[in-house]
Amino acid sequence: MTRLIIGAMIRAIGAYPSGWRYPGAHRDPRGDAAVLRRAAEVAEAARLDYLFFGDWLATGHDLEYHDPYLVARVDPISAITYLAGVTSRIGLIATANTSYSDPYTLARATASVDLLSGGRAGLNLVTGAEPRAAANHGVDFHTANEARYDRAVEFEIVLRRLWDSFDDDAIVADASSGVYLDPQKLHAADFHGEHLSVTGPLNVPRPVQGHLPIVHAGISPRSRLFAAQSADLALVAVGDREQAIAIREELRSLAFESGRDDRTLKVIAPVLPIVGETREHAQSIADELSELVQIAEDWPGGPPPAFPSNRSLAQLSLLVGVDLAGLSPDRSVTPPLVAEFSAAGQELVEIVAERTGRSPSSERPPTLRHLVVAASVNASMIVGTADDIAAEFEAWGDAGAVDGFNVLSAVQPQQFEAFAFQVVPELQRRGLLPTEYEGATLREHLGLARPESVHAAGDPVAAAGQRHGSRGRLASARRHP
Annotated binding site for FMN: 55, 95, 149, 220
Give the integer Cα–Cα distance in Å for 370 and 25: 21
Binding-site entries: 55, 95, 149, 220
Cα distance between residue 122 and residue 92, in whole Å = 6
Phi, psi of 118 (to 5 degrees): 75, 25
* CA dihedral over 133, 138, 143, 149, signed as positive or negative: negative
Phi and psi of 400, rounded to 5°?
A: 75, 25
Contact 76, 95 (CB under 8 A): yes
DSSP-derived pairing of the beta strands 91-97 and 121-126: parallel
Element of type H or E holding 34: helix 32-45
Q: Give residue 248's region: left, alpha or beta (phi > 0; psi -120 to 50).
A: alpha
DSSP 284-315: HHHHHHHHTS--GGGSTT-PPTT--TTSSHHH
CB 186 within 8 A of CB 165: yes
The answer to whether 171 and 129 are in contact (CB under 8 A) is no
- Return the number of other C-beta atoms located less than 10 Å from residue 29's C-beta: 17
Contact present, 217 and 250 (Cβ < 8 Å): no
Strands 50-53 and 5-9: parallel
Is the alpha carbon torsion for 51, 56, 60, 63 positive or negative? negative
Q: Is the peptide bond before 29 cis (omega within 30 degrees of 0)?
A: no
In the chain, the N- to C-terminal Cα span, in Å, equals 16
- Tell me how far apart the 2 most distant CA atoms of the chain are, in Å: 90
DSSP H stretches of helix in 195-240? 221-230
| Nearest 10 degrees: Cα torsion 389, 394, 397, 400 | -110
Strands (E), 178-304: 179-181, 191-192, 197-198, 214-217, 233-235, 266-275
Kindly give, in sequence order, each residue whose CB lies less than 8 Å from that of residue 290, ignoring residues fewer than 6 positions away: 18, 352, 355, 356, 369, 370, 373, 374
Collapsing DSSP states into helix, strand and coil, what is residue 322?
Answer: coil
CB 217 within 8 A of CB 235: yes
